[in-house]
Amino acid sequence: MTRSRADTSRSDADLVRINRGFYESLWSAARLIGPERFNTWPLSRELAEAAPRRLEVAPGLRPRLPLAGTCFVDLSHAALRRLRAGGGNAIHGMIGQLPCADASFDLVCALDILEHVADDDGALAELARVAAPGASVLLSVPLHPQAWTAFDEFVGHYRRYEPAEILARLAAHGFVLEQSAVYGMQPGSSRLLALGQWYLTHQRERAMWWYNRVFMPIGLRFQKPLQWHAGLGDTAGVDEVLLRCTYRPATAPSH
């Protein structure tokens, strides 16, 4: 039976605990990979060059914005140490309560984050709070609740989004979608996912070695180039989508 989302009785505190446990272990055994190694780099570099004040939320050790000159906020102390060593300004915090001033960034990046929190409206409100009017906002989310697998729950996901749902939530917080790119396809092998989950559960150290030394380098080598499309394109069969928005807050009513 396919589940549309994880157990909705889980609180943000439960999700923080699950995510901290999984990702602290992951980042403790991982190496920092610079943003230029990812297929997001041609897109994010262009945005970063036009934005002197930049924030990336929860990048772990896979930042997509330039290390120098970017503020990073993450829960993982292992990730924070390595980000700082790489030249980043890294601060401990979480998306629901960002340790940043209002309207302080021209570019805000939060990839693979919204699906991890129970209160995604609160998270979007925080991103809107720290974004300056006219700021670019780069997000990514998994799509299609019917594509839910046990692996979603294992890695701390709370939901997958219907395309219309994520657009409505973004618009409610002042984020205007400008462009999107196909960021992933639905995995073709449920057996492979189950095998990976088993190893991560029962032989985590060995699984982390294979992930960091073998699968991650192979994945980087075979990344497909990303291409922007106006608005939200055809999402049939798309596992994850990358979104570029502009923050346009509602005009305050005149008195």
The CATH number of the domain where 44 resides is what? 3.40.50.150
Distance CA 113, CA 92 (A): 15
Whether residue 119 lies inside any domain: the answer is yes
pLDDT at 208: 65
Judge whether 244 and 137 are in contact, CB under 8 Å. yes
Task: Give the separation between CA 196 and CA 174, rounded to whole angstroms.
Answer: 39
Backbone angles phi, psi at 188, to 5 degrees: -85, -15
Cα angle 187, 191, 196 (rounded to 5 degrees) comes to 85
Q: What does the pLDDT read at residue 199?
A: 57
- 218 inside domain: yes
Domain assignment of residue 150, yes or no: yes
Confirm whether 200 is domain-assigned.
yes
Max Cα distance, the chain (Å): 64
Q: What pLDDT does residue 157 have? A: 85
Residue-range definition of the domain harbouring residue 48: 12-247
**pTM > 0.75:** yes
* 72 found inside a domain: yes
Domain count within the chain? 1
Q: What distance in Å separates the CA atoms of residue 26 and residue 24, rounded to the nearest whole number?
A: 5
Answer yes or no: are the C-beta atoms of 118 and 13 closer than 8 Å.
Answer: no
In the numeric block, which tokens belong to residue 238?
């798309």
| Backbone dihedral angles phi then psi of residue 180, each to the nearest 5 degrees | -145, 160
**121 domain-assigned:** yes
What is the chain's pLDDT, residue by residue, as a tens digit (255 residues)? 333 454 455 556 665 665 566 666 666 667 899 999 999 999 999 999 999 999 999 999 999 999 999 999 998 888 999 999 999 999 999 999 999 999 999 999 999 999 989 899 999 999 999 999 999 999 999 999 998 887 787 777 889 999 999 999 999 999 999 999 998 644 555 565 666 656 566 666 666 666 666 667 677 777 889 999 999 989 998 999 999 999 999 864 444
Q: Give the pLDDT score at 148.
A: 87
> Is 19 within the bounds of a domain?
yes
What pLDDT, on the 0 to 100 scale, is given for residue 255? 41
Tokens read off for 191: 């057996």
Residue 7 resides in a domain: no
